[in-house]
Amino acid sequence: MADVDNVSGGDGPEDVAADAQVVVVGAGPAGSSAAYHLARAGVDVLLLEKDDFPREKVCGDGLTPRGVHQLLRMGVDVSGEGWHRSRGMRWVVGDREVLIDWPGLARFPDFGLTRTRHDFDEILVRHAQTAGARLHTRVKATGPLTDRTGRVVGVRAVAGPGGTPVTYRAPLVIAADGTSARLAVALGAHRDKARPMATALRRYYRSPIRSHEEYLELWADLRHPSTGDRLPGYGWVFPLGDGRVNVGLGMLTRPHKKSPDLRATLNAWLARTPPEWGLDDKGADGPLRSAALPMGLNRRPQYGRGLLLVGDSAGTISPWNGEGICQAMESGEVAAEAAALALTRPAGPARERALQGYPAELNRRWGRYYRLGNFAATYILSRSGFQPLLNRYITERPALVGGLARLLTHLTDDPSHDAIDHVLNTLIRLTPAPTARR
Ligand SMILES: Cc1cc2nc3c(=O)[nH]c(=O)nc-3n(C[C@H](O)[C@H](O)[C@H](O)COP(=O)(O)OP(=O)(O)OC[C@H]3O[C@@H](n4cnc5c(N)ncnc54)[C@H](O)[C@@H]3O)c2cc1C
């Protein structure tokens, strides 16, 4: 990361408000998961969040079995009211519908979940608190605090409605501040513009008829509202089980190409859905909201000078399908493990080696898979979306459809359990590992 001004000592009326072994900035899935795993490891962790809970987060609210796996690893009870289970995905391509059940793997559960982020994020943050993490809400980090060598030794923030300046000191800081990536940017960790990026919007609708569906519905044949050209994305209708559905669409941004008007694209698509689904202005429950999706591990280094980047701040969203909750939680867990190990060592080279284990482990888990996904997103999906992959030849062959679904959702057993695992694991292993530069 590039050098920034030395701010140690401060230049304003700041107080040292709290000390911790690790300060985590942002209590979304990445931050709460990092805080939970750190607290479980006996680390004194302070979680800073600019908002209060419960709060909204623009999202599709859908979890694949990989995401459910992360919740189970945290001991979150997903059997109670409010969690809606899915059996798989239903892809719609023109006049064809393809039903794909989640695979029965040894490593992952065989169901997905939906739950509004309004509830989900609060459940996760309370879970982290119960494990021992301290939470300060209405605290907005404004930048990293660095010592004379440029190492991060805490964060600067403003707290409360009056925006009182505060400083929090800790030997390690985890940036889980989402797409803004404010802390990372302040240290010069900029987005790699060669990696794919997407924009998505969503809205809730009252749709009793679709709300209890067992499949996540995905429409792969989005068209430009004026030209009719195929678009690089998909639309979704995710059942929430409470009388509502989460409806939205996500679109890869294409370099040198003007993005279509997403609202008009959504309206044109929803006009094709059956009227009894109620996906119109009359059935809407709340406003349409949009946000960016940083993908493909697009911000590096994920560790440098005392700062670890997790979740969207590191661009961990999957370039294959736009899924980011699971990846946020998983990166939070991996970062927590590295930080907890590092803190058992004195400051210096041995501690740094443990911290460098974080990007190394992300690379081991996702490096090749994301590299392949970045390639697919850039050269295939960004041209005409998922439609070519879901052509008639593939969709009429259950093994091919199953394999494609498992590739898109990163669901295989390793060591391989069946032929699909074997093919996918081999494909990923044959992909050259990313280097520090690529
Ligand atoms: C429309 C849309 C649909 C999506 N659908 C899905 C889906 O269905 N499934 C899926 O898996 N993923 C989906 N994603 C992606 C997913 O929402 C993100 O990848 C995920 O939320 C990332 O989690 P995070 O914890 O890294 O960041 P966030 O969830 O953004 O959390 C960041 C937290 O940091 C706080 N914060 C930010 N700045 C500061 C600051 N300066 N100081 C203190 N706190 C701060 C924020 O208030 C927030 O609480 C979707 C994204 C969009 C935009």
139 in a structural domain:
yes
Query: Is the separation of the CB atoms in 22 and 170 below 8 Å?
Result: yes
C-beta 26 within 6 A of ligand 1: yes
181 in a structural domain:
yes
SS3 assignment, position 109: coil
186 and 57 share one domain: yes
353 in a structural domain:
yes
pLDDT tens, residue by residue, 379-422: 888 887 888 888 888 888 988 999 999 999 999 999 999 999 99
Which residues are bridge partners to 426 per DSSP? none
207 and 72 share one domain: no
**Minimum mean pLDDT range among 3-7, 54-58, 95-99, 312-316:** 3-7
pLDDT at res. 398:
87
pLDDT at res. 346:
95
Does 436 score more than 70 pLDDT?
A: no
pLDDT at res. 289:
97
Number of domains in the chain: 2
CA distances from 126 to 32, 35, 295 (A): 8, 11, 28
pLDDT tens, residue by residue, 265-282: 999 999 999 999 999 999
C-beta 197 within 6 A of ligand 1: no
276 and 304 share one domain: no
Does 50 score more than 60 pLDDT?
A: yes
Q: What angle do CA 349, 352, 353 make, to 5 degrees?
A: 90
Closest Cα to atom 38, ligand 1: which residue? 177
- Terminal-residue alpha carbon distance, the chain: 16
Domain's final residue, options 292, 316, 348: 292
Q: pLDDT grade, residue 437 (50/70/90)?
A: low
pLDDT at res. 438:
54
C-beta 323 within 6 A of ligand 1: yes
Rounded to whole angstroms, the Cα distance separating 429 from 416 reads 12
Domain that holds residue 210: 197-292
144 and 214 share one domain: no
281 in a structural domain:
yes
Q: Which residue among 36, 48, 57 has the greatest number of ligand 1 atoms within 8 angstroms of its CB, and so is best to mutate? A: 57
Quote the percentage of the chain above a pLDDT of 70. Answer: 95
**Minimum mean pLDDT range among 40-44, 230-234, 252-256:** 252-256
Give the CATH number of the domain where residue 202 resides: 3.30.9.10
C-beta 117 within 6 A of ligand 1: no
pLDDT at res. 296:
95
pLDDT at res. 384:
75
Q: Which residue among 325, 408, 410, 411 has the greatest number of ligand 1 atoms within 8 angstroms of its CB, and so is best to mutate? A: 325
344 and 256 share one domain: no
Quote the percentage of the chain above a pLDDT of 90. Answer: 82
25 and 130 share one domain: yes
Does 171 score more than 50 pLDDT?
A: yes
Buried b (16+ CB within 10 A) or exposed e, 372-401: bbbebbbeebbeebbbebbeeeebeeeeeb
- Interval between CA 309 and ligand 1 midpoint (Å): 13
Domain's final residue, options 337, 368, 399: 368
C-beta 332 within 6 A of ligand 1: no
CB-CB neighbours of 119 under 10 Å: 16
337 and 353 share one domain: yes
Q: pLDDT grade, residue 228 (50/70/90)?
A: confident
178 and 320 share one domain: yes
pLDDT tens, residue by residue, 317-372: 999 999 999 999 999 999 999 999 999 999 999 999 999 999 999 999 999 999 99
State if pTM tops 0.75: yes
pLDDT at res. 272:
94
286 in a structural domain:
yes
279 in a structural domain:
yes
pLDDT at res. 258:
80
pLDDT at res. 386:
83
Least Cα distance to 265 among 244, 277, 247 occurs for 247
221 and 201 share one domain: yes
Give the CATH number of the domain where residue 188 resides: 3.50.50.60
Does 32 score more than 60 pLDDT?
A: yes
C-beta 337 within 6 A of ligand 1: no
57 in a structural domain:
yes
**Strand duo 84-86 + 134-136: pairing:** unpaired
Q: For all residues of the chain together, what is the average pLDDT?
A: 92
For residues 222-228, average pLDDT: 89
Which residues are bridge partners to 85 per DSSP? 113
Q: What length is written for the chain? A: 438
pLDDT at res. 45:
98
229 and 188 share one domain: no
For residues 9-35, average pLDDT: 76
Distance of CA 341 to the CA centre of its chain: 24
Domain's final residue, options 340, 368, 396: 368
66 and 187 share one domain: yes
Does 256 score more than 70 pLDDT?
A: yes
22 in a structural domain:
yes
Q: Which residue among 182, 312, 318 has the greatest number of ligand 1 atoms within 8 angstroms of its CB, and so is best to mutate? A: 312
Closest Cα to atom 29, ligand 1: which residue? 28
185 and 240 share one domain: no
